[in-house]
Amino acid sequence: MSERYDTIVVGAGHNGLVCASLLGKAGRKVLVLEANDRVGGAAVTREFADGYSVSSCAHLLYQLQSQVTKDLGLKVELARDKLGTVALSADGKHVRINGNDVSGVGDEDVASYRDFRKRMTRFADLLKTYLNKTAPRLAKDASKSDMLTLAQLGFDIRRLGRKEMQEFLRLIGMNIRDEVTERFESDLLRGAVSFDAVLGTHLGPRSPNTIMTYLYRLAGSHARLSQPAGGMGSVTEALAHSARENGVTIRTGMKVKRIVVQNGRAAGVETESGETFSSRLVVSNADPKSTIMNLVGARNVETGFTRRVHHIRMRGDAAKLHLALDGLPSIAGVEKREFADRFVIAPDEVYVERAFNHAKYGETSAKPVFEITFPSFRDDSLAPTGKHVMSAIVQYVPYELREGWSDGARDAFTKLAIDTLSEYMPDLPQRITASELLTPADIEQQFHISGGHWHHGELVLDQFLFTRPVGGAHQYAMPLDGLYLCGAGTHPGGGVSGAAGRNAARAILKSEKVV
Rounded to a whole number of angstroms, the minimum distance from the CB of residue 473 to other proteins is 10
Rounded to a whole number of angstroms, the minimum distance from the CB of residue 138 to other proteins is 12
How far is it, in rounded angstroms, from Cα 155 to Cα 216?
20
Rounded to a whole number of angstroms, the minimum distance from the CB of residue 289 to other proteins is 11
Residue 113 DSSP label: H
Sign of CA dihedral 438, 439, 443, 446: negative
Helix (H, G, I), strand (E, B) or coil at 241: helix
**56-81 b/e with 16+ CB inside 10 Å = b?**
bbbbbbbbbbebbbebbebeeeebbe
Of 297, 327, 404, 426, the residue at the interface with other proteins (CB under 8 A) is: 297
Residue 60 DSSP label: -
Rounded to a whole number of angstroms, the minimum distance from the CB of residue 265 to other proteins is 8
Told to check if 304 binds other proteins by CB under 8 A, we report yes
Told to check if 123 binds other proteins by CB under 8 A, we report no
Rounded to a whole number of angstroms, the minimum distance from the CB of residue 307 to other proteins is 4
CB closer to other proteins out of 250 and 267: 267
CB closer to other proteins out of 70 and 299: 299
Using CB under 8 A as the binding criterion, the count of chain residues that bind other proteins stands at: 21
Stretch that binds other proteins, among 149-157, 232-240, 306-314, 380-388 (CB under 8 A): 306-314
Rounded to a whole number of angstroms, the minimum distance from the CB of residue 141 to other proteins is 10
Told to check if 472 binds other proteins by CB under 8 A, we report yes
**How many alpha carbons lie under 13 Å from residue 383 in its C-beta half-sphere?**
24
Amino acid present at 150: L
Helix (H, G, I), strand (E, B) or coil at 144: helix
CB closer to other proteins out of 31 and 292: 292
Provide the strand spans (E) within 402-507.
Answer: 432-438, 483-485
| Pairing mode of beta strands 45-49, 342-345 | unpaired
Stretch that binds other proteins, among 5-13, 66-74, 303-311, 377-385 (CB under 8 A): 303-311
| Pairing mode of beta strands 249-251, 227-228 | unpaired
Is residue 89 within 8 Å of residue 188, measured between CB atoms?
yes
Of 125, 224, 479, 512, the residue at the interface with other proteins (CB under 8 A) is: 479
Told to check if 306 binds other proteins by CB under 8 A, we report yes
Of 70, 73, 107, 139, the residue at the interface with other proteins (CB under 8 A) is: 139
Told to check if 302 binds other proteins by CB under 8 A, we report yes
Is residue 234 within 8 Å of residue 143, measured between CB atoms?
no
Told to check if 471 binds other proteins by CB under 8 A, we report no
Rounded to a whole number of angstroms, the minimum distance from the CB of residue 487 to other proteins is 20
CB closer to other proteins out of 279 and 395: 279
Of 75, 140, 144, 162, the residue at the interface with other proteins (CB under 8 A) is: 140
Told to check if 84 binds other proteins by CB under 8 A, we report no
Rounded to a whole number of angstroms, the minimum distance from the CB of residue 283 to other proteins is 19
How far is it, in rounded angstroms, from Cα 397 to Cα 415?
13
Reported as type and span, the H/E element at residue 9 is strand 3-10
Residue among 89, 99, 49 at smallest CA distance from 390: 49
User: 62 to each of 11, 19, 78, 81, 497, how far by Cα in Å?
Assistant: 22, 20, 12, 10, 8
CB closer to other proteins out of 164 and 466: 466
Rounded to a whole number of angstroms, the minimum distance from the CB of residue 299 to other proteins is 6
Rounded to a whole number of angstroms, the minimum distance from the CB of residue 312 to other proteins is 12
Q: Which of residues 236-295 bind other proteins (CB under 8 A)?
A: 261-264, 293
Stretch that binds other proteins, among 5-13, 40-48, 129-137, 300-308 (CB under 8 A): 300-308
How far is it, in rounded angstroms, from Cα 90 to Cα 188?
11
CB closer to other proteins out of 140 and 337: 140
CB closer to other proteins out of 158 and 307: 307
CB closer to other proteins out of 293 and 332: 293
Sign of CA dihedral 67, 81, 443, 194: positive
How far is it, in rounded angstroms, from Cα 432 to Cα 389?
9
Stretch that binds other proteins, among 11-19, 221-229, 301-309, 438-446 (CB under 8 A): 301-309
Told to check if 450 binds other proteins by CB under 8 A, we report no
Residues 6+ apart with CB under 8 A from 228: 61, 76, 77, 78, 79, 234, 235
Q: DSSP string covering 260-324, please? A: EEETTEEEEEEETTS-EEEEEEEEE-S-HHIIIIIII-GGGS-HHHHHHHHT-------EEEEEE
Of 310, 360, 402, 510, the residue at the interface with other proteins (CB under 8 A) is: 310
Of 26, 49, 298, 416, the residue at the interface with other proteins (CB under 8 A) is: 298
Of 113, 116, 214, 305, the residue at the interface with other proteins (CB under 8 A) is: 305
Told to check if 511 binds other proteins by CB under 8 A, we report no
Told to check if 300 binds other proteins by CB under 8 A, we report yes
How far is it, in rounded angstroms, from Cα 335 to Cα 5?
55
Rounded to a whole number of angstroms, the minimum distance from the CB of residue 139 to other proteins is 7
| Pairing mode of beta strands 276-284, 483-485 | parallel
Told to check if 484 binds other proteins by CB under 8 A, we report no
Residues that bind other proteins in the complex, under the rule CB under 8 A: 139-140, 261-264, 293, 297-307, 310, 472, 479
